[in-house]
Amino acid sequence: MTELTARQQRFVEEYLVDTVGAHAAIRAGYSPRGAKKRAWLLLKKPAIAAAIETATAERSERTKIDADWLLTRLAAEAEADLGDLYDENGDFKPIREWPSIWRQGLVTDVEISALYEGTGKERREVGHVKKVKFAERLRRLELIGKHIRINAFKEIVEHKGLTALAERLERAQKRNDGEAQ
């Protein structure tokens, strides 16, 4: 296998950051003006493609994050029960009592505001307003569907009559080419 130059090796390392070739090329020291084309050319080189594949596999081994881990995580997030966040009175449980799946990404924001009545010395706290923002769970189902290639979310567009139109355009093009000669 061909040895990579220092800059090519840096490109491989930078490519693993976000898998955006142009950004990786710039961070690796290539000119921003031609970064997109440079990245395209670099990614076509077998030695660079192999280095990226090897580095990706090594990272997956180190982190123990692979397709199985991802699908298991997405499935757990898609199946998480909202009821686990509430107590028997219908109030939110303290966050520390929420199942970890909710604390690790399904809840994106919690805002708690105190409610008061009265003014001056008569002012007293009478309750709280709790606002919770949840991550988009449908997106997890889409990712699962795309990964296992069931095409559950693939849009199907059918155009009737386009074949006849294409044939007419082709005949017109041939006539046009004949007249031009």
pLDDT mean over 22-51: 95
Residue 110: its pLDDT value, please?
86
The stretch 34-40 carries a mean pLDDT of 95
Q: Tell me: pLDDT of 57 over 70.
A: yes
pLDDT at 53: 93
Beta-strand pair 107-117/124-134: antiparallel
Select the more confidently predicted residue: 169 or 102.
Answer: 102
pLDDT band, very low/low/confident/very high, at 149 (cuts 50, 70, 90): low
Higher pLDDT, residue 170 or 14: 14
What is the pTM assigned to this prediction?
0.53
Does 88 have pLDDT greater than 80? yes
Read off the amino acid at residue 83: G
Q: What is the pLDDT of residue 112?
A: 87
Tell me, what's the pLDDT at 158?
56
Spatial separation of the C-alpha atoms in residues 153 and 143, rounded to whole Å: 9
- 128 neighbors 115 (Cβ within 8 angstroms): yes
The residues, any chain, with a CB within 8 Å of residue 38's CB and separated by 6 or more, are 25, 30, 31
Domains in the chain with CATH codes: 6-64 (1.10.10.1400), 66-181 (no CATH)
Give the range among 31-35, 49-53, 76-80 with minimum mean pLDDT: 76-80
Question: How far is residue 32's CA from residue 105's CA, in Å, rounded to a whole number?
Answer: 35
Counts for the chain of helices (H) and strands (E), in that order: 8, 2
pLDDT band at 157 (very low <50, low <70, confident <90, very high): low
Residue 65 is predicted with a pLDDT of: 80
Section 117-146 average pLDDT: 85
Nearest-angstrom CA–CA distance, 118 and 52: 65
User: Mind listing the pLDDT tens digit for each residue in 95-131?
Assistant: 899 999 998 888 888 898 999 999 989 999 998 888 8
The set of residues, in sequence order, having a beta carbon less than 8 Å from that of 69 and lying 6+ positions away, is none
Structure tokens at 173: 């093009």
Give the whole-angstrom CA distance, residue 154 versus residue 145. Answer: 9
